[in-house]
Amino acid sequence: MAACAAGLGVHRLWEALPFPRFFEHALLALLALVAAWPLQRWLGWSRAAALSALWLLALCVFAGPVPMLAVAMLAAAAIAIGSLVMAGPVALVLGLALIAGTLGWLLPWPIHHRAVYALACIGLIAWRRTAIADACRSAWRHFDDAARAAPIASTAAILLLGLASTGAWLPTMQYDDVVYHLGLPWQLQETARYAMDPNLQVWALAPWAGDVLQGVAQVLAGTEARGALDGLWLGISAAAAFALVGALGGDARRRWWAVALLGSLPMCMHLAAGMQTELPAMALLPALAWLVLRDNAATGARALFAGAILFGALCGLKTMHAVAATPLLALAAWRHRVHIPWRRLPLAALVAIAMGGSSYFYAWYIAGNPVLPLLNATFHSPYFPPTDFNDKRWHAGFNSDVLWNISFDTDHYLEEADGGFGFALVALAGVWLLALRDARTRGLALVAGAAVLLPLLPLQYARYLQPGLALAIPALVVAYPLARGANAAFWALCMLNLAFATNANWMLRTGALKYTIAAAGRDAPLLERYLPERILAARLRAAGNHAGTVLLLPGSSIALAELGQHGRNMLWYSPRWEAAGIEADADPSGRAWAHLLHANRIAHVLLRPTTLTPAQRAGLQRSGAALAATAGDAQWWRIPDNAPP
């Protein structure tokens, strides 16, 4: 803690403190407490339960009631499936892993219709309604008992977790989501299949388990359901940390401490605002740890296959998450060596491959590289240059002070401001050493430490550490000493994390949450301010012109994955189109651009006038392009000769 205080001073982090955003979150917390009082008094609920209901209601308002209903159906169906493997706290996450793993193999087939998904969910819910009801009653009982046993800690924990969930109130605007992750859900909604075309998006065959579940929720809702599903993943992450503390022998107060510390981490608010894989990994990794750390008497074939499903799901999210989970497998093999049914291990390995292997298989079959665009110097896929993909921004060095620098010099390890990762890595480093002394927490502390460090070996990118840090939190709170002033220090750390929370996300740091609340959940005002191309894409769909090919000129520095097979971009995500754009720009007369537009039957062009090059402007004029609509500083131009009838 003293080192953390020193780091704040040495790096002058008060200069990076986003004061207006911190006060906005404090005001939200105060309003939530005031609004929870009637529920607590009239219904006899605990304050934590009343706050949870209010945060869920707020998520319903800002993420949308229909997406919330769709995600609720998905969650109920997941419990129905997962409880067949193992009942209890892991049933929900097991079911989600099974759904993602199974549907990943079926993406090329045009079967992903709303009616198909709805009937499947309704059928599962009707069939397993007793198991679902039992799971919900058990979860409520554990929640309520723990909340009443530690009322202050539970209130603070739900406040912090609720504030983290405000990231899910925002529309989808983060760069990776817009240029890549939205592609699969939108294609499932519009065409009932996923085209898997690496010509248009070099990441099209990358691990997709998280996006598959986003697609299921979106197809069920008939609209984007990212915020609602992110809220579910955040809740599962908190529940997994809560249950893991219990497995380590922690009391109710320490269980809520784990939820509070998790909710205070700036990256939780950041991840709730997007579609990155680290959010579901924060749920899957502690769930796998819970399986490992239970009593030996509770192990057996069911636990083995449950672990295989969860590990396979981590592979299906991102190879990095599987690497981070490998030490957990070693701990499981040692801890349960007497009880593991070793003869069934090959079958469990096949289950893991089935759950997480679909994207790797299709990438190898279609592109010749199972991890395209990674390691292409080895696989030589024609869809990417024969070099290993490498983002040079994140090679600050794997040094002894890397965790210190990630905490205080964050902008060299993340595309955000200093302090945006939070300060638990430094402030609780001493507690991690104490966790190594405690027999209850030693194993988890070791594997969590490995899960934090392993992602840093290939590149030093802060976001990849988040699942490992979430895994470490239960061990840290159980080992946390109760010396004089320790309680105050713990809550001071949570408040410090919260104060810098919006430094983890450019949208939150620039006041997007305030604009979302002012717009009463409508996406258009924020999109027009931050990402007007998405408004134009929606108008293209509404006008019925989405059958025509849409080109985003390179000056916009964006690609719209939601356009699916109709969209073209000239960024590095599409190497052939990028090369064609560079070649066309070399002709100032515009003839090359006009030829490119005509030869590829480009019917619509999205651009930003301020970044339009003379060659592009001349090419549009030669093509007879006409301005169709404007949103913010973006424009939609129609090319009549190329538009479909």
CB environment 392-427: b (16+ within 10 A), e (fewer) = eebebeeeeebbbbbbbbbeebbbbbbbbbbbbbbb
**Helix 319-335 / helix 301-317 crossing angle, nearest 10 deg:** 160
- Side-chain-side CA neighbours of 179 within 13 Å: the count stands at 18
Q: Which residues contact residue 358 at a Cβ distance below 8 angstroms, ignoring those fewer than 6 apart? A: 101, 104, 105, 107, 208, 316
Joined tokens for residue 309: 């499903």
Separation between Cα atoms, residue 373 and residue 367, nearest integer Å: 10
User: Does residue 521 carry a pLDDT above 90?
Assistant: no
Among the residues of 318-356, which ranges form H helices? 319-335, 345-356
**pLDDT of amino acid 643:** 62
Confidence at residue 285, expressed as pLDDT on a 0 to 100 scale: 97
Where does the pLDDT of residue 90 fall: very low under 50, low under 70, confident under 90, or very high at 90 and above? very high
Residue 279 Cα distances to 133, 265, 286, 321, angstroms: 26, 12, 12, 11
pLDDT at residue 213 greater than cutoff 80: yes
Tokens representing 530? 């931050």
434: pLDDT strictly greater than 80: yes
pLDDT of residue 343: 92
For 398, the enclosing helix (H) or strand (E) is: none
Mean pLDDT of all residues in 73-98: 96
At 392 the pLDDT is 83
Confidence bin at 88 (pLDDT 50/70/90): confident
- Per-residue pLDDT of 44-82, as tens digits, reads 899 999 999 999 999 999 999 999 999 999 999 999 999
Residue owning tokens 């001073």: 9
Average pLDDT over residues 482-492: 91
Q: How confident is the model at residue 485 (pLDDT cuts 50, 70, 90)?
A: confident
Q: What does the block give as tokens for 250?
A: 């922690």
DSSP 451-470: HHHGGGTT---GGGGHHHHH
The answer to whether residue 247 scores a pLDDT higher than 50 is yes
Of 209, 207, 176, 206, give the one whose Cα is nearest residue 372.
206
Report in angstroms the alpha-carbon separations of 171 from 272, 277, 522, 634. 11, 17, 9, 18
- Tokens read off for 478: 């159980």
> pLDDT confidence of 390, banded at 50, 70, 90?
confident
Task: Tell how strand 634-638 and strand 626-631 pair up.
Answer: antiparallel
Q: In the predicted model, what is the mean pLDDT of residues 232-255?
A: 96
The amino acid present at 261, given as its one-letter code, is L
Q: pLDDT tens, 14-51?
A: 999 998 898 999 999 999 999 999 999 888 899 999 99
Using DSSP's 3-state secondary structure scheme, residue 110 falls into: coil
pLDDT of residue 545: 56
- pLDDT digit string, tens, across residues 419-433: 999 999 999 999 999
Averaged pLDDT of the chain: 94
pLDDT tens string 105-129 = 999 999 999 999 999 999 999 999 9
pLDDT of residue 494: 97
Mean pLDDT across 467-489: 94
How many CB atoms within 10 Å of residue 323? 18
Q: Which residues contact 598 (CB under 8 A, 6 or more apart)?
A: 623, 641, 642
SS3 42: helix
Whether the CB-CB separation of 299 and 340 falls below 8 Å is answered with yes
The answer to whether the beta carbons of residues 13 and 408 sit under 8 Å apart is yes
d(CA 590, CA 617): 7
How confident is the model over 289-342, as pLDDT tens digits?
A: 999 998 654 568 899 999 999 999 999 999 999 999 999 999 999 998 888 888
CB atoms within 10 A of CB 342: 11
Tell me the C-alpha distance between 47 and 464, whole Å: 34
Residue reference for tokens 């810098």: 500
**489 has pLDDT over 60:** yes
pTM recorded for the entire structure: 0.96
Using the predicted structure, report yes or no on whether residue 644 has a pLDDT greater than 90.
no
> What pLDDT does 167 receive?
96
Distance, CA of 277 to CA of 11 (rounded, Å): 31
Q: What is the pLDDT of residue 297?
A: 47
